[in-house]
Amino acid sequence: MKFHASKKLIPHLVVIVAIGIGLLLTWDWPYETALFPRVGCIVVLGVAIISLVSELVRGRGDEAKLGDGWVSSQPSGDRSLRRVGVVFGWLILFLIGVWALGYEVAAVIFVFLFMKINGKQSWRISILFTVFSFVFLYSVFRLLLDVIWPHGALWGILGL
């Protein structure tokens, strides 16, 4: 029997470990609370193990080629780890920005910095889109919809 180990098996292992831990955590729960999570965990765990074994035995390299809506069908081009890290880094920085500065301030700074540094756009375009973003956010969310965004944690720490 030939085994086909590949990086595509990693998600199976992650799922099996995560669901295994999840199942253990249900142990002390009352019957009504635990029924669905426990049944769900056991079914998913079983199917994930079957899937892992079948892919180990058969390999999936030559199988289904699906569309973008289901999964990726296009080669991702320049998908080096560095670019992946940079883009996700921007997302995390924006998230921290929202927590520290509040959504409106963080959004404006994010749009400008992303365009200028990551997008390498001109000063004119970067400033233009930053101003547009601010006007849009303020007029739509603040004035029209009366949305009050949560304050940034930093302002609380500084007593502002």
Partner 1 sequence: MIQAAELALAMLFTPIHILMFTLGIVMGLFLGVLPGIDAVFGLAVLLPFCLVIDPTAALPLILGMASITFTSGPIPSILIGAPGTAGSTATIVDGHPMAKRGEAGKAMGAAFTASLIGGLFGALVLTVSVPIFRPLVLMFGSPEFLAMSILGISLVSVLCGGYPLRGVVSAGLGMLISLIGQDPILGVERWSFGVPYLLQKVSIITVALGFFALAEIVDLAIKRTRISVSHSSAGKWDGMRETLKHKKLVLSSSAIGALVGFMPGLGAAVACWIAYAWALIVSKPRSGFGKGDIRGVIAPEAADNASVGGALIPTIAFGIPGGTLMALMLSAFWMMGMKPGPELLTKNLHLVYLIIWTIALSNILGAALCFLFTDYVAKLATVRIEILAPVVIMLIYGGGLVTTMNIGDIIVVVVFCILGWGMKQLDWPRPPLLLGFILGPLIERFYFASTMVYGYKWVTRPGVLVIFALTAICLWVGLRIQRKEAEVQSTGGAES
Tell me how far, at minimum, the Cβ of 34 lies from partner 1, in Å.
8
Residue 102 tokens read as 């509040």
Tell me how far, at minimum, the Cβ of 160 lies from partner 1, in Å.
18
Tell me how far, at minimum, the Cβ of 146 lies from partner 1, in Å.
7
3-class secondary structure, 151: strand
Quick one: 33 or 155, whose CB is closer to partner 1? 33
Site string for partner 1, 11-50 (x = CB under 8 A): xx--x---x--x--xx--xx-xx--xx--xx-xx--xx-x
How many amino acids of this chain bind partner 1 (CB under 8 A)?
75
Cβ atoms within 10 A of the Cβ of 48, count? 20
The radius of gyration of the chain from alpha carbons, rounded to an integer in Å, stands at 24
Tell me how far, at minimum, the Cβ of 27 lies from partner 1, in Å.
12
With left for phi above 0 and alpha for psi between -120 and 50, is residue 102 left, alpha or beta? Answer: left
Out of 13, 57, 84, 135, the residue judged to bind partner 1 by CB under 8 A: 84
Quick one: 4 or 8, whose CB is closer to partner 1? 8
Asked if residues 106 and 160 have their Cβ atoms less than 8 Å apart, the reply is: no
Q: How far apart are CA 85 and CA 37, in angstroms?
A: 34
Out of 2, 5, 27, 92, the residue judged to bind partner 1 by CB under 8 A: 92
Out of 20, 119, 122, 131, the residue judged to bind partner 1 by CB under 8 A: 119
Range 131-150, binding partner 1 (CB under 8 A): 133, 137, 140-141, 145-150
What single-letter DSSP state applies at residue 63?
S
Residue 102: what are its φ and ψ, rounded to 5°? 95, 160
